[in-house]
Amino acid sequence: MFAKQVRKLIVAIDGPAGAGKSTVAKRLAKELRYTYMDTGAMYRAFAWRVMEQGMDLSDERELRRVLQQTNIELVEHFGRPGVLLNGVDVTDRIRTPELSQLASRISTSKIVRERMVELQRAIGSQGGVVAEGRDIGTVVFPDAEVKIYLDASSQERARRRFEEFRGQAGQGTMEETVSEMEERDRRDKERDIAPLRKAEDALVIDSTDSAVDGVVERIMQEIKKKMLANQ
């Protein structure tokens, strides 16, 4: 008799910028030996292409053409997540405050989101992924076995983001970071296409005063329950 092959899960982690999604998702993916899917990096990669080519975002015909010629891959180099844009490693080029803001604006485009969701679903088609973003449990993988909504206070999220970009050219003050964070929250929650919101069946975790280890352990408990239920 052959042992029953259990399908690997899809773990969906949503939440606003700076809530700790990337840190937690990377840890979970490593522990589970799953693929880490940073959907925000995929939007930033396309934003980088838009910026490099000086594209007019109001030109939908051109935008659609470029999107269809865009392939984004999530890879791992020596244990570190990487992003390839049409085969070119852009991992270190897309981690700037400017590109984060541009990616947030680009994500309001229906045709951009359609292409990104298409790419994301292809990556997760076989399960075994920990995906983090803003519409993972509501749009990209609405049938994900584990859904988490990770949140934190706006002040704490801004502090984390300020520390992340500390020393980079163009970084503003802490006050400006708070303002930008609040503006991004508003844009993400009020956009017409796939707004940031909590899936009805998501487990809500506030990471404001929680250590990463504690958050990871709480989510692992949820994952283990789902794994047992699938056996």
- Write the pLDDT tens digit of every residue in 120-154: 999 999 899 999 999 999 999 999 999 999 999 98
Q: What is the dihedral angle through the alpha carbons of 151, 157, 163, 168, rounded to the nearest 10 degrees?
A: 110
The CATH class given to the 10-224 domain equals alpha beta
Q: In angstroms, rounded to a whole number, what is the distance separating the alpha carbons of residues 33 and 12?
A: 15
Q: How many other C-beta atoms are found inside a 10 Å radius of the C-beta of residue 82?
A: 16
**Residue 6 has what pLDDT?**
63
Q: In angstroms, rounded to a whole number, what is the distance separating the alpha carbons of residues 143 and 210?
A: 28
List pLDDT tens digits, range 3-60: 455 679 999 999 998 899 999 999 999 999 999 999 989 999 999 999 998 998 889 9
**Residue 95 has what pLDDT?**
86
